[in-house]
Each structure stands twice: as structure tokens, then as C-alpha cells.
Chains A and B, each alone.
Chain A
């Protein structure tokens, strides 16, 4: 940012207001920043920080009830705030382009991806006809899609999430914009895909001299790819600094807390908590160790699940054999054990069969083959449909990935937590159940006055607590956690991980922690299983697998998860 080159994009004192029925709410207040030519700028913040609204304002695509209250927006001399809609149409796509969070919803499901790229080209009168087609194939090649001529004819549903995001990037680059805004471009993608996509965006940025704004909640990702980072909180810019400076000496307490809360290889669970939390200085809670030689709590033997082929077998008896294809083997003969009180991580990319495995152990899905033994009792033979009344039902419980989806929208928090108690416990009468619900709320740190609220009136962290309280209500011996923190902000994730560690130490439960994030697994689990294509390819103590992975795939997973540079304070701890 030398004075000779004026910034390409500059935002000064931007305030965006939304008119809601309770009056106007300022989602963004007095935000100023600039973007130089060829620079990659990260905007980092937790949900509700106004980072997306800022970029929407820049593109002038705010929702109907949002207005730019004051401030100046300019792009290479064009006043974006006062530009006519016609000018803005030219600017969008041609000068500034945007990549959205969910690639699948950004693509038209009933048009071939190649045609969609052509549409953009002809819309901006860049190319038409055969030229446009050639250009579209070139673009698909640029975003490293194999066999672009073939893929030109693919529909979005025929492509994986990562491929769709590549197509969206090709769309964004179609008219050779100068600025690329990427709004959480890798949310919902696996770590390895995330790395491939962001690497590609970086390479394209360098090759084409693009300026990029990367909007993300992941400090590690921003640190690995950006030169400068803006930290936002509740609509305001908290801190703005070069990456090295930001991590070496964060000036604001909030930034420091955010850095500390991001799981790293060297982190401890307590260390994730904000600096003013008194528990920070404690050592991590230690779960009670079962004496060696105790029989395992859960043992899984040769577990297999085959899903029938997508086209169902014909109902005509003589055609049944021909049509009944092999089907898809989601889980392929896996075996493992979990000791009482032990916490085991199950790691792998999406589609590797980890969710199917957890559903089978949870007895929501019937295995094709294999045995599941809990506490010495074989449970795989009880049909899933009848397991609801099985005596071991309460001993096996589950914490869902999406807390919002797992709570009945018409039940209050108290009713959600009481549900398993009403069905499976010996407690009778509303008084006894209420007492237990309040006890559980205290255990998971949910304020009692929130118990009468409905899920939509609770925050993400509070909903996660309700889900955990419901899962532990029946004193389970094994709790399966399916990425319980994936949808949460890092600061909330820190608190929830601590809660889970405390609960395990207090109640002596075993955990099977399903995740794609090895850094999080490392914090909570003693042992880790790495799954790929339905098989367990590596297992061992977590720190050993993290330090010296045996398989290439594990190494690749480890390298893909972005690691923020260690902050000064953590380094001091190490010294």
C-alpha cells in the first residue's frame, strides 16, 4: 500500500442499518478499510459480526430492508454508494465478483454447468456462441476440473460439493474481475477439499493479479492465506493488522481470546477459554481411568453396512436378480473397542462412513453384518425399529451435529430435556421430572430461566447445551458425539468442549467423538480411529497419530487443517 498506488477498493465509515419491526438495527457501524491491488485481505469474525453484510453492502446486494445509512464506498474511482443500478450491474461480475457460502444453491439445478458459465459471458457481452463455449471450457480448466469437455455437460447434482465450488469460482472469474470476494467459500467442505479450493484461489489471485477479500470465521484459514486481517465483532472493526503482527501481538483482548480459542495442535482444552476465565489456569480435567483388564464397554466386530443400489430391484420376480446390483458398501467390516470411561475419536472425510457407523452403534440403523456388544450384551440383532423400548436404550445416547435441527421447534427447552425422562426413566410425576431437568440444566451450565424458552429463542451455544443435557439425562454409559461443535463459533466451541471434558470427568461416560477436525479430536480423545472408504485405516493414541502418522492419508488430513501461527503468549508457555 504505497502512496503511489491508491487503494483499489476503499470503504470509509460504512454503517448499514436494517429496519426490523422493532426499529432500526445497525448491523455494521463505522467500518473503514481499503484493499490494494493484488492484496489478499481477510475479514474474520464470529456470526453476527457483520462481515457478510459489509461485503453485501460493497456489492449493493443488501436485502430489501437494509440500507447504507452513511459512509463512502469506492472502487477505482467509482462511487459505489451512489452509482446507478445500471452501473452496478456492470461492476458486479465484471469488476467485483463474489463466491458464496453454499455452492450448490448458487448454481441453477436444471442447467448444465457449462451453459451457466456461458450465460454469464453473454450477459456481460464478453463472448457469445462458439467462442463462449470455448471460453467456458477454458475456465473449467482454469479451476482444475478434470476433463472439462465432459464436465461442461454435467448438471450441478452430478458434481461433488468441492467440484460445485470450483464451478462457482469459474463463474466468478468468467468476466475477469479485478476483485474477488469469497464469503466463507469452504464452509461445509472437507479439510482436504478446503485446502485444494483455497490453494487454487490463492494461485489464481497471484496469476491474474486479483485482489481478494476472504471472509471467514476461521482464523487459521485467514492466517494461512491472507496478508492482512480485519477482525470484526458486533458490526465494528476491532483490529486491523498484518498477519504476523496480529498473531505476534494482538492489541485487543477480543482478538487474543479468538486466537486462543482456535484449536491448535499444542492447545489444551482449558487453554481455549478466554483469558479472564478463572478455569484457564487449571490443568485439563482428567477422567477416571478404568483399571487395565476391565472388559471393554463397547466392542464392534466386523461391522458392515451395504445400502441397496440406487435403482430398486424390479418387482418382477424373474428380473429381480438382474437388477439387484451389488449396492454401496458404506461401512466395510470394521472392528474396534471402547473401554469404560475412554474417549475415542472417529475421523474421516464426508462419505467415509463415519456417520453410518455411529448410526448403527446408536441402533438407529440396522447393520448388514457384524456384531455390536455393549456391556456384554449383543445388541446388533435387535431391529432398530424396536430398540426404542430396549433396556439398554438409555445407556446409549447421541449428541447431534445440528442442535437446531435436533430440537423439536414446538417444545420448550425443559420439555426437550424431559422427553427421555418421561419415556425411559423411573421418575414419575411432573415434580420429580422438573427437579431432574433443573439439575441437568445446572450440570450443562444452562441458566434455569431459559428452560421455558423455545429453541428459536435460544442461541447456538444454548441449543447445544440443551442437546447435551437431553443426551446425559438417562446417565448413559456411551455418548456418541457427531461433530457437536461444527456449527458453533470458536469461542462457543471452546466452552462446549470444556463442558464435555468436565462432564466426562464427573460422570465417567465413554465418548465416541465423530469429527473431521483432528485438532478438536486431539483435545478430547485419548485414542483416534481414522476412517476412509468404509474402513479403519489407522488407529492409535491421538498424540502418536498426530505426531507420527503412519498412513499418507492421515498425513494429508493433518496437513490440510489450517494452523494459525502460535501467539506470543502460547509460545511463552512452551518456553
Chain B
């Protein structure tokens, strides 16, 4: 097989020498990743500029125009208090994205720290952290999140903590598997010979090599975290009305579906669905970009 690999190796050297060449290649090979990146750009744009570009104040009520169907002046219609649904959907992007980014970042680093040390040291560290993680996994995760928010209080921070805690096991497992692979690798032994302490080896040799699969996990997890935050708000935990948030908007709009006012629940629901879908596609694109084995 070395024969077959030789020309490939030569070509990858050429490509990586040109910065961004690999990115361009992956995008042209798989147009779906372009869709994912464009979708991601739109979501980030809405999160950053949403409240500024929204045509109406998302909190301003106007009883005279309540429950109007979608029209040119109100693209997504208005709700029972006469608020513009389009403006509220736009404004909610920031809060939902903020919750999920904060939760994923938190679980990413906590999970990486637990997982890499468990995989690298093995023994007792591995056994104890492994059982703790198994215990978390033994709960129905959404119910656990509900319990945490209910016990700790109904705030945005607690939604973040709850979402982070239920996600930690996934990162810890990925990181542990990667660290256990690299633990006996020659470069880790070489780092010991170079006088690196265990902590330094973990931080600058083992962790960076566990990054690619963890980054993919984070991206796939992002959609799930948004869904989780929205789900908590949907059942009345966490974000409270009148704050615009997709989960509450769906929950409130659901009451009006029976009476024919479908636009209240459909549009925030669609926004939620498309966001989760975009993050899942982005995970696949990210895997194509950072997995060295795809560089053929």
C-alpha cells in the first residue's frame, strides 16, 4: 500500500503549501457544506444584527393589530398581543445562540479536561471519572436538565449550566478515547524524554491531537443544545415571557393552532429546525475539513 500512498502524499504536500486550498477543495467537492456555511453565516448575522435590523420592536404590543396573518407589512404575521413575529424570531436568535454557545463551550472544556486526564492517566482517575459520567448518562438527560433548572432557579445562567452538565459526558468520552490512543504514541514518550511534565504533555501534546473529533462533536452538539434550551423554555423553565425565545414562542403559539392562527408557532419552529439542521450539516463539513484522512 505504500506504493499507492506515495503519489497521494506528494499531492497533499502541494495542497497544504497553498493556504486555504484544502478548504476550497472540500467546498467544491461537497456543495452541501457550502449550504451549511451560508446557513451558519445567516444565523450568526441574525444573532449579531437581529435586534437592529428588525422592522419592529420585538417587545412592543399593539392590541389593534393582534393575530394578523402574514402580510407585506408583517411577514410572519402578529401574535395575540400584536407583536411582530418576524422581529421576535430575529431577536430570539441571539439569546438561543448565546445559550447554546456558552453551554457547548463550557461542556467542551470541562469534558476535555476530564476525558483527556482519564485517558492519559488511566487507573483510578479513569475509574472514578468514568463512573461519574456513567451516572450522569443513566438519567434521561432532558429530565435531568429539567431537574437542575427547577432546583437551581429559573434563570438563563442555570439553563446554560444544565445544558452543559448533560453534554459533558459526550465530550469526556470522545476526549478519553483520543487520549488513550495517543497515550502510548511515540511523540508522548518523546515529550517525556524532553522533560515535559504530565500536565504539559496533556495540555500541549495530547489535547491538541484530540481536537478534531471534539470540534466535530461540538458542532453537532450545538444544534442539540439549542433544542434543549428551547425545550426547557417550552415547558416553562428558564427564559420567561415576554423575552423573545423560539421555545416560548412555539409554546405560546401552540395554543392558537387549533383556532387557525398557525403562523405563531410555525415560524419560530421553522427557525429552530433550520438552525439545528444547519449545525448538523456544519458538523459534517467540519469533519471533511479537519480530518486528515480526507486529504486524498
Residues of A participating in the B interface, judged by any CB pair closer than 8 Å = 18, 20-22, 25, 27, 47-53, 56, 63, 65-66, 101, 362, 364, 385, 388-389, 393-394, 396-398, 400, 402, 405-410, 419-420, 423-424, 454, 456-457, 467, 470-471
Residues from 159 to 210 in B contacting A, C-beta threshold 8 Å: 185-187, 189-198, 200, 205, 208-209
Contact indicator A21/B25 (Cβ below 8 Å): yes
Kindly state the separation between the CA atoms of A63 and B14 in the bound complex, as whole angstroms: 22
In the assembled complex, which residues on chain B have CB atoms less than 8 Å from the CB atom of A18? 4, 7-8
Q: Does residue B16 face the partner (Cβ distance < 8 Å to A)?
A: yes
Contact indicator A405/B186 (Cβ below 8 Å): yes
Contact indicator A393/B7 (Cβ below 8 Å): no
In the assembled complex, which residues on chain B have CB atoms less than 8 Å from the CB atom of A410? 208-209
Nearest CB of chain B from residue A412's CB, rounded to whole Å: 12
Nearest CB of chain A from residue B242's CB, rounded to whole Å: 48
Nearest CB of chain B from residue A6's CB, rounded to whole Å: 29
Secondary structure at the B interface, as helix, strand, loop or mixed, is helix
In the assembled complex, which residues on chain B have CB atoms less than 8 Å from the CB atom of A22? 11, 14-15
In the assembled complex, which residues on chain B have CB atoms less than 8 Å from the CB atom of A20? 7-8, 11, 296
Which partner residue on chain B sits nearest A406 by CB separation? B186
Q: Does residue B12 face the partner (Cβ distance < 8 Å to A)?
A: yes
Q: Does residue B138 face the partner (Cβ distance < 8 Å to A)?
A: no
Contact indicator A408/B198 (Cβ below 8 Å): no
In the assembled complex, which residues on chain B have CB atoms less than 8 Å from the CB atom of A48? 2-3, 6-7
Contact indicator A51/B3 (Cβ below 8 Å): yes
Contact indicator B195/A52 (Cβ below 8 Å): no
Q: When the two chains form the complex, which single residue of B2, B10, B187 contacts A407, counting CB atoms closer than 8 Å?
A: B187
Q: Does residue B258 face the partner (Cβ distance < 8 Å to A)?
A: no
Kindly state the separation between the CA atoms of A63 and B193 in the bound complex, as whole angstroms: 40
Contact indicator A423/B195 (Cβ below 8 Å): yes
Which of the listed residues A408, A423, A456 has the most CB atoms from chain B within 10 Å of its own CB? A408
Which partner residue on chain A sits nearest B207 by CB separation? A410
Contact indicator B11/A388 (Cβ below 8 Å): no
Contact indicator A406/B190 (Cβ below 8 Å): yes
Contact indicator B192/A457 (Cβ below 8 Å): no
Which partner residue on chain B sits nearest A421 by CB separation? B194
Contact indicator A408/B209 (Cβ below 8 Å): yes
Q: Does residue B292 face the partner (Cβ distance < 8 Å to A)?
A: yes
In the assembled complex, which residues on chain A have CB atoms less than 8 Å from the CB atom of B4? 18, 27, 52-53, 56, 63, 66
In the assembled complex, which residues on chain B have CB atoms less than 8 Å from the CB atom of A402? 186
Which partner residue on chain A sits nearest B200 by CB separation? A423
Which of the listed residues B1, B13, B185, B190 has the most CB atoms from chain A within 10 Å of its own CB? B190
Residues from 68 to 88 in B contacting A, C-beta threshold 8 Å: none
In the assembled complex, which residues on chain B have CB atoms less than 8 Å from the CB atom of A398? 189-190, 193
Q: When the two chains form the complex, which single residue of B185, B195, B208, B209 contacts A389, counting CB atoms closer than 8 Å?
A: B195
Nearest CB of chain A from residue B203's CB, rounded to whole Å: 12
Kindly state the separation between the CA atoms of A409 and B206 in the bound complex, as whole angstroms: 11
Q: Can you list 8 A-B contacts (CB < 8 A)?
A: A18-B7, A47-B2, A394-B195, A397-B193, A410-B208, A423-B194, A457-B12, A471-B193
Residues from 1 to 59 in B contacting A, C-beta threshold 8 Å: 1-4, 6-17, 25
Kindly state the separation between the CA atoms of A420 and B25 in the bound complex, as whole angstroms: 37
A25-B11, A400-B186, A457-B13 are contacts. A424–B209 as well, Cβ < 8 Å? no
In the assembled complex, which residues on chain B have CB atoms less than 8 Å from the CB atom of A408? 187, 191, 205, 208-209
Contact indicator A393/B193 (Cβ below 8 Å): yes
In the assembled complex, which residues on chain B have CB atoms less than 8 Å from the CB atom of A53? 3-4
Which partner residue on chain B sits nearest A45 by CB separation? B3
In the assembled complex, which residues on chain B have CB atoms less than 8 Å from the CB atom of A66? 4
Contact indicator A362/B193 (Cβ below 8 Å): yes
In the assembled complex, which residues on chain B have CB atoms less than 8 Å from the CB atom of A50? 3
Kindly state the separation between the CA atoms of A18 and B186 in the bound complex, as whole angstroms: 32
Contact indicator B209/A409 (Cβ below 8 Å): yes
Kindly state the separation between the CA atoms of A25 and B7 in the bound complex, as whole angstroms: 7
In the assembled complex, which residues on chain A have CB atoms less than 8 Å from the CB atom of B200? 423
In the assembled complex, which residues on chain B have CB atoms less than 8 Å from the CB atom of A56? 4
* Complex interface bits, B232-251 against A, C-beta within 8 A gives 1, otherwise 0: 00000000000000000000
Which partner residue on chain B sits nearest A27 by CB separation? B7
A27-B4, A101-B1, A410-B209 are contacts. A393–B186 as well, Cβ < 8 Å? no
Which of the listed residues A53, A362, A470 has the most CB atoms from chain B within 10 Å of its own CB? A53
Contact indicator A420/B186 (Cβ below 8 Å): no
A27-B3, A408-B205, A410-B209 are contacts. A388–B187 as well, Cβ < 8 Å? no
Contact indicator B12/A400 (Cβ below 8 Å): no
In the assembled complex, which residues on chain A have CB atoms less than 8 Å from the CB atom of B193? 362, 364, 393, 396-398, 420, 471
Nearest CB of chain B from residue A547's CB, rounded to whole Å: 36
Kindly state the separation between the CA atoms of A407 and B3 in the bound complex, as whole angstroms: 23
Contact indicator A52/B192 (Cβ below 8 Å): no
Contact indicator B12/A470 (Cβ below 8 Å): no
Kindly state the separation between the CA atoms of A26 and B125 in the bound complex, as whole angstroms: 52
Q: When the two chains form the complex, which single residue of A101, A385, A388, A406 contacts B195, counting CB atoms closer than 8 Å?
A: A388
Contact indicator B7/A456 (Cβ below 8 Å): no
A398-B190, A405-B185, A410-B208 are contacts. A27–B6 as well, Cβ < 8 Å? yes
The list of the 9 closest CB pairs from A to B, nearest first, reads: A406-B186, A48-B6, A420-B194, A423-B195, A405-B186, A25-B7, A424-B195, A52-B3, A408-B187
Kindly state the separation between the CA atoms of A20 and B294 in the bound complex, as whole angstroms: 12
Kindly state the separation between the CA atoms of A53 and B8 in the bound complex, as whole angstroms: 13
Which partner residue on chain B sits nearest A234 by CB separation? B6
Kindly state the separation between the CA atoms of A292 and B13 in the bound complex, as whole angstroms: 51
In the assembled complex, which residues on chain A have CB atoms less than 8 Å from the CB atom of B296? 20-21, 65
In the assembled complex, which residues on chain A have CB atoms less than 8 Å from the CB atom of B17? 457
Which partner residue on chain B sits nearest A404 by CB separation? B186
Which partner residue on chain A sits nearest B198 by CB separation? A385
Nearest CB of chain A from residue B37's CB, rounded to whole Å: 20
Taking A456-B9, A457-B13 as known contacts, 11 extra A-B pairs with beta carbons closer than 8 A to each other, sorted by chain A number, are A27-B3, A48-B6, A49-B3, A52-B4, A56-B4, A65-B296, A389-B197, A398-B189, A398-B193, A408-B208, A457-B17
In the assembled complex, which residues on chain B have CB atoms less than 8 Å from the CB atom of A400? 186, 189-190
Kindly state the separation between the CA atoms of A505 and B2 in the bound complex, as whole angstroms: 35
Which partner residue on chain B sits nearest A418 by CB separation? B194
Kindly state the separation between the CA atoms of A21 and B14 in the bound complex, as whole angstroms: 11
Which of the listed residues A51, A66, A385, A457 has the most CB atoms from chain B within 10 Å of its own CB? A457
Kindly state the separation between the CA atoms of A423 and B199 in the bound complex, as whole angstroms: 13
Q: When the two chains form the complex, which single residue of A388, A454, A456 contacts B192, counting CB atoms closer than 8 Å?
A: A388
In the assembled complex, which residues on chain B have CB atoms less than 8 Å from the CB atom of A405? 185-187
Kindly state the separation between the CA atoms of A467 and B186 in the bound complex, as whole angstroms: 11
Kindly state the separation between the CA atoms of A51 and B200 in the bound complex, as whole angstroms: 44
Which partner residue on chain A sits nearest B14 by CB separation? A22
Q: When the two chains form the complex, which single residue of B12, B194, B196, B197 contacts A456, counting CB atoms closer than 8 Å?
A: B12
Nearest CB of chain A from residue B127's CB, rounded to whole Å: 11
* Complex interface bits, B128-166 against A, C-beta within 8 A gives 1, otherwise 0: 000000000000000000000000000000000000000
Kindly state the separation between the CA atoms of A48 and B195 in the bound complex, as whole angstroms: 37
Contact indicator B194/A52 (Cβ below 8 Å): no
Kindly state the separation between the CA atoms of A269 and B180 in the bound complex, as whole angstroms: 40
Kindly state the separation between the CA atoms of A539 and B85 in the bound complex, as whole angstroms: 87
Which partner residue on chain A sits nearest B16 by CB separation? A457
